Amino acid sequence: MLVLVAPGQGAQTPGFLTPWLDLPGVEDRLRAWSDAIGLDLVHYGTHADADEIRDTAIAQPLLVAAGLVSTAALGAVTPGAVAGHSVGEITAAAVAGVLTDDEALALVRTRGLAMAEAAAITETGMSALLGGDPDVSVAHLEKLGLTPANINGAGQVVAAGTLEQLAALAEDKPEGVRKVVALKVAGAFHTHHMSPAVDALAEAAKKLSPADPKITYVSNKDGRTVAGGAEIVDRLVGQVANPVRWDLCMETFQELGVTALLEVCPGGTLTGLAKRALPGVRTLALKTPDDLDAARELIAEHS
């Protein structure tokens, strides 16, 4: 059984969309979305530098657009389940048929702007803890006033909070943690710091007409499969201020009988976690069009 997954913020790199523009129709599609949401996706995906695409309001639409064009490039594919990490959940919702591609881009544009605005209120950020016991790490983070914003499985927890709190964490790591790595994000996502963004996203969600998913959809909130389109949208709205439980998502993949995991562009992060947490499961990260043939072979073997 194949699971298709979409990465979250921080997976983007300068120029990562450049090779995809060589595929027929991709540039036209990106320009149409750009016009619709008021953001030049082609420019930011090809010529912008790392600092420009670190901006939450830019990174989030860019990631969803990349996920959608790379999924479309695979051709007809019906995975056994779909999921996305953080903003990747919007990509997954579109792949599952809950949202149209245009609705997904409109929603993520609102999400990115609202979260960027919320992040500007207080200087905040996120850091990944490498190694250690998650239960020990979570207790330590709470002692420092930090939030375990992502519990990713494979021993990885991501802390979020103010820059002062994160500096204290770097000096006082939880027992067993090898390293604390600052992430290339511009705020404490999936924490109470993002609460102002929830209202803006809820207002935008009123304009949507969600359908029930055609593919099993696994939610970040608790790793549960969700069968109703309206509930999926409600979860997308609330998730911006609540922790991502990717560990529980991977547990659900196992329960569903996953044999292969394919991560859409810009792939790499989630396949890395799966290699450690899902032994025996085939993984493939879709980075450039050069990976499409291998991805299609994986789909043919495991769909």
pLDDT of residue 155: 80
Q: What CA–CA distance (Å, rounded) separates 88 from 20?
A: 19
Q: Is residue 257 part of a domain?
A: yes
Mean pLDDT of the chain: 95
Q: 109 and 131 share a domain?
A: no
Residue 185 has pLDDT above 90, yes or no: no
pLDDT of residue 108: 98
Residue 69 has pLDDT above 80, yes or no: yes
Average pLDDT over residues 47-66: 95
pLDDT of residue 10: 86
Q: What is the pLDDT of residues 93-140, one digit of tens each?
A: 999 999 999 999 999 999 999 999 999 999 999 999 988 899 999 999
> Residue 244 has what DSSP assignment?
B
Domain that holds residue 140: 124-182
pLDDT of residue 186: 78
pLDDT of residue 303: 81
Residue 183 has pLDDT above 90, yes or no: no
Q: 199 and 100 share a domain?
A: yes
Q: What CA–CA distance (Å, rounded) separates 96 from 33?
A: 19
Q: What is the pLDDT of residues 225-281, one digit of tens each?
A: 999 999 999 999 999 999 999 999 999 999 999 999 999 999 999 999 999 999 999
Q: Which of 165, 182, 199 is a domain's end point?
A: 182
Residue 147 has pLDDT above 90, yes or no: yes
pLDDT of residue 137: 95
Q: Is residue 102 part of a domain?
A: yes
155: left (phi over 0), alpha (psi -120 to 50) or beta: left
Catalytic residue among 34, 86, 127, 137: 86
One DSSP character per residue, 170-203 reads HHSPPTTEEEEEE-S-SS-TTSGGGHHHHHHHHH
Q: CATH number for the domain including 10?
A: 3.40.366.10
Count how many domains the chain has.
Answer: 2
Residue 184 has pLDDT above 80, yes or no: no
Q: Is residue 303 part of a domain?
A: no
Residue 25 has pLDDT above 90, yes or no: yes
Residue 65 has pLDDT above 80, yes or no: yes
Q: 26 and 50 share a domain?
A: yes
Residue 18 has pLDDT above 90, yes or no: yes
Question: Is 43 in the active site?
Answer: no
Q: 150 and 283 share a domain?
A: no
Q: CATH number for the domain including 168?
A: 3.30.70.250
Helix (H) / strand (E) element for 150: namely strand 147-153
Residue (of 100, 80, 77) closest to 90 by Cα position = 100
Q: 271 and 254 share a domain?
A: yes
Catalytic residue among 34, 137, 140, 190: 190
Residue (of 181, 188, 239) closest to 56 by Cα position = 188
Q: 17 and 162 share a domain?
A: no
Q: 27 and 155 share a domain?
A: no
Question: Is 86 in the active site?
Answer: yes
Tell me the backbone φ, ψ of residue 40, rounded to 5 degrees.
-80, 90
Residue entry with tokens 């120029």? 15
